[in-house]
Structure formats: structure tokens, C-alpha cells
Copies of this chain bind each other. A is one copy, B any other.
């Protein structure tokens, strides 16, 4: 049994009300305040948050539900959310769903039971659908995967445009048979696929998109088969960091050189994309901004619940590296953000 406000009151010779007032900087005489503080220190008292939350009906907690905290994109976003919440004196309840609707549902239930102040989530496709039918009881902001949205505030990347940028770049580099692997569980994956398809068609090319579970293993497996088959592409676009890793692994396993046998481009500017092979061309997402914007939308809504849903669309930045520069090696020196020598020197 732990120490309660009652014990402190007793020790200090005051009522619990007074102790509470001391804790919340209420009006209390200097000398009694001192006695209370002494008692708190002597007993090592810490307020019980459950009790406080129950009484005040204020959880001071932001829920954050993501699909996979191992994905650096989400760890970075999480960091942005946490920083903002911390500054506002709020706690963050972080949950990862593993792209599993069952877990997603159970965490959503948990959020309700915790009576969270607000929620930030990156829903799977299935959940997105459900959220429109059964709206949540508390303010929520969708990140990364908002779909057409509608009911909720959201912060997303301009996925179609970003996919188009990659296709355009590959096209200009002379690639024509450009394939793509896309996460099948998120609206984001689908949007990137749509952007890719549209961009391909606009250039008179036939798109060849494949929807996959967004994991390294799925990417590697699918890509291995694809590369070994008759319809192997010259270039490939991967819709997130995990699939991108899968593509690279498959290429290596099959002995396909990047970019001469296979050009590779993808999403998410993770540390390793800079050091692998000739460097990977990627779309960098403003990860920290996404978290910060989400919190800012959320706080606005908390202050003003009547607000109409807002959608913040951020732009990605295309970082060109060696993985897409086979045909015009001259372009390399101009465009690359980091010198190539290191990468080239990696070979024994």
C-alpha cells in the first residue's frame, strides 16, 4: 500500500484539502505550505494519477497508434508527437498494431477506456473504413494514411505527387520498364500505387504494380520471384522503407547489380539508404513535421471542437542518389547529395 495524500495531511497536521492546494499552487499560507512540503519529502509522497484523473476527468494523455514502431518513419513521427505533448504537460500512450486489425481494434478500445484526451493514429485500410462508419468519441488526427478522409483532421504526404516524382526521375534517366511494390494495408500504399500508375500511363508506359504486406520479407520474396521471371523490370519503386530493404536484399541475393541491372528508388530517407551500394534514391518525408502538425491540429480541436475537419498535405523531397543513375553516369556528380567515392570504395 502506498502513501496517500491522507498520510501527508496527517504528518503535516493539516487537512487533505490543504495538501491538495499546496500541490496545485492554491492559496495557502507560507509556513503551512512549508510544513506540507516537508511532510511530502519525508514520506516520499507521489500523487496517484489514477485518482487524480478520475476526479478531474482529465486524462492529460494523448494516444498514439501506429502500425509498426520498428518502422523508422513511425519512430520519428512518434518523437515529434512526444516532444509536443511533453511541452504541453501531456503523456503519450504509444501502441503498435503490427498492421493487425484485431490489435488495432483492441487498442482503440483501450484508448476509450483510458479516456484519452485525444488520439493520433495511422489506421490500416480496414480500420479507416470502420472509422467512417463508427466515428470515435474523442478528437482524433489521422496521420500518413487518411484516405479520402472526411470526418477527421489529418496530416499526410502528397503521395500521388511523390510517386509521380519518382517515375518522372526514372523516366528521364532513360528507364521504361518500371515496376513498383506497394504496401497493401494502408491507404498510403494505394495512393502511391495510383500515383505511379497515373504517371506511367501519362508517359505512355504500362504500369506493373504489386501490392504486398509491408514487410522486409514479403518484399524480398516477391521481388526475388519477379526478378527471376520473364517480366523482370529495369527499375523498381518501393512504397516504404521496409519494402525498399526487401528489394535491395532480393537484388543482392540474385546477384543483380544496382543500378546497372536494376535501378531502385523508394520512400523514406533512412540512414542506411545513404550507405548501401551507390546510395538509394528516395523521397524524404518531413517526419518530424508530420508529428508536430498532427499535435497542433489536435490541440486546435481540443480547444475548439466545432472546427471543420482539416487536412494538411505536406510535400516530400526527392533525394537522388546512385541507385537510379546507370544510364547517365555524368549526371551523378551534379545531382548527388553525397559524394560517391565512399560507396564506390566499399568494394573489396
A interface residue numbers (CB < 8 A to B): 1-2, 44, 46-51, 53-54, 57, 59, 69-70, 72, 75-76, 78-79, 82, 91, 93-94, 96, 109-110, 112-115, 137, 216, 245, 248-249, 251-261, 270-272, 274-278, 322, 325-326, 329, 338-339, 341-348
Which residues of the other chain, B, contact A1 by a CB distance below 8 angstroms? 57
Cross-chain contact B278 with A249 (CB below 8 angstroms): no
Cross-chain contact A254 with B342 (CB below 8 angstroms): yes
Q: Which residue of B lies closest to A103 (CB)?
A: B86
Within 8 Å by CB of A75, from B69, B272, B274, lies B69
Which residues of the other chain, B, contact A271 by a CB distance below 8 angstroms? 216, 245, 249, 272
**Contact A251 B342, CB 8 Å, known A69-B69, A347-B277:** yes
Cross-chain contact B278 with A276 (CB below 8 angstroms): no
Report the 4 A-B pairs with minimum CB-CB distance, sorted nearest first. Answer: A252-B342, A272-B272, A277-B346, A257-B345
A57→B51 CA distance, assembly (Å): 10
A157→B266 CA distance, assembly (Å): 36
A260→B44 CA distance, assembly (Å): 59
Which residues of the other chain, B, contact A329 by a CB distance below 8 angstroms? 348
Q: Which residue of B lies closest to A71 (CB)?
A: B75
Q: Which residue of B lies closest to A252 (CB)?
A: B342
Cross-chain contact A342 with B75 (CB below 8 angstroms): no
A70→B288 CA distance, assembly (Å): 13
Which residues of the other chain, B, contact A115 by a CB distance below 8 angstroms? 2, 48-50
Cross-chain contact B113 with A46 (CB below 8 angstroms): yes
- Chain B nearest CB: distance from A94 CB in Å? 5
A343→B251 CA distance, assembly (Å): 9
Cross-chain contact B255 with A345 (CB below 8 angstroms): yes
Cross-chain contact A70 with B59 (CB below 8 angstroms): no
Within 8 Å by CB of A114, from B49, B258, B346, lies B49
A sample of 15 cross-chain residue pairs with beta-carbon separation below 8 angstroms, ordered by A number, consists of A2-B115, A46-B113, A49-B113, A50-B115, A51-B54, A91-B110, A245-B272, A249-B274, A251-B345, A252-B275, A252-B341, A253-B338, A256-B345, A276-B346, A347-B347
Which residues of the other chain, B, contact A57 by a CB distance below 8 angstroms? 1
A344→B255 CA distance, assembly (Å): 8
Which residues of the other chain, B, contact A82 by a CB distance below 8 angstroms? 96
**Contact A2 B137, CB 8 Å, known A49-B114, A342-B256:** yes
Within 8 Å by CB of A257, from B54, B216, B346, lies B346
Cross-chain contact A275 with B276 (CB below 8 angstroms): yes
- Chain B nearest CB: distance from A114 CB in Å? 5
Which residues of the other chain, B, contact A51 by a CB distance below 8 angstroms? 50, 54
- Chain B nearest CB: distance from A68 CB in Å? 9
**Contact A253 B342, CB 8 Å, known A50-B115, A75-B75, A275-B248:** yes
**15 extra interchain contacts, Cβ-Cβ under 8 A, other than A251-B342, A277-B346?**
A49-B113, A50-B51, A70-B72, A70-B79, A94-B94, A245-B271, A249-B271, A251-B346, A252-B275, A256-B345, A260-B348, A272-B275, A272-B276, A278-B348, A347-B347
